Structure 1
Amino acid sequence: MIKNEKIKAFEVQLTGVNGEDLGIVPTSEALAMARKLKVDLVCTSLMSSPPPCRLIGAGAAKQEAQQARKQEKAPKLKEIRLTPHIEEHDYETKLQQAERILKAGDAVMLVVKIQGKEGAKAKELLEALLKDLKPSGKPKTGIQLSGKQAAVQLDPL
């Protein structure tokens, strides 16, 4: 984000404090206008000529930059492994882990390791987890049984 005197362009496409279009203005005039209104002149993109700039309050510019950085961060996929023969306390622990990950904004892959004929039990376990995690996340995929594991992916709400 380039602000105020660091903008080197001769002229800029200026947008006012309330979003009104002020047209193409010489940079020196835009800076004078920013000083008069006690706001910052912020360049939003350097890819066009003249570059688009906005008049933004000092705190708002910083907040907007932080918001843009947050949106750039892609959600990570974290895996939680379970077995079909899980104790109640262990189930609660895994449930809390999954809720914590979903609330942090990351996706969760719940994987149940299967041995022999435990497929039905693994599916029941994943269905129970999906039901308990409904307030925190929504399933991206259905329950997938394949070979030695059953899995389902949950995305945050």
Structure 2
Amino acid sequence: MVINSDGTQMGVMSKRAAIELAYSQNLDLLCVAAKAKPPVCKVLDYGKYHFQQQKKEKEAKKKQHVVEIKSLRLSPIIDTHDFETKVKHAKNWIESGMKVRIDMRFRGRMMTRQEVGREIMNNFIQEMAEIAIVEKKPSLEGNTMSTVLAPKKK
């Protein structure tokens, strides 16, 4: 099945006849549906077609929304003012649509007091509860406890 450059169907023809038709119009023959019965080919300017395809892909890429993940590091021995400052930063990021990853690193003898770190992590999550949801629950991986908070759907 051959489709002309202006969109009219030329009908079913042999491969050689289709190529000659395209050649006589100084255009290319492009197979658009190879698995169809019969295969569908179109007579067109391939350079122009390729350029339009690239333009469509670029436009689609512009419309994509990439979610950025910001990272915060807490400590099991964090002071209240430092804690409030980190909460404030995290709230600003969440409100602007970003995800926030909170890490808490245990060093040396702090590993024996993981419950203190877990309590601080839970306090942080409760402070953020009104605007964020927990995407990944706090979990210990090696000597680092981490969690991911995402903005609530509106």
Task: List gaps (5 residues or longer) in structure 1.
Answer: 1-8, 12-45, 48-64
Residue of 114, 136, 141 corresponding to 2:106: 114
- Cα distance in 1 between the residues matched to 2:87 and 2:77: 15
Percent identical pairs in the alignment equals 19
Task: List gaps (5 residues or longer) in structure 2.
Answer: 8-51, 54-58
Q: Radius of gyration: which is bigger? A: 2
Instruction: Please show how residues 11-50 of structure 1 align to structure 2 within 5 Å.
Output: none
Q: How well do the aligned residues superpose, as a CA RMSD in angstroms?
A: 2.2
Indicate whether 1:90 and 2:82 are aligned: yes
Residue of 55, 72, 97 corresponding to 1:80: 72
Contact 1:119–1:150 under 8 Å retained in 2? no
Counterpart position of 1:150: 145
Contact 1:111–1:150 under 8 Å retained in 2? yes
Please give the secondary structure, in 2, of the residue aligned with 1:140. strand
Structure 1 segments (4+ residues) deviating >6 Å:
none
Displacement after TM superposition at 1:10 (Å): 6.7
Aligned residues: 95
Displacement after TM superposition at 1:118 (Å): 2.8
Structure 2 CA distance for partners of 1:10 and 1:133, relative to 1, 3 Å: farther
Paired letter, 1:155: A
Structure 2 CA distance for partners of 1:93 and 1:10, relative to 1, 3 Å: farther
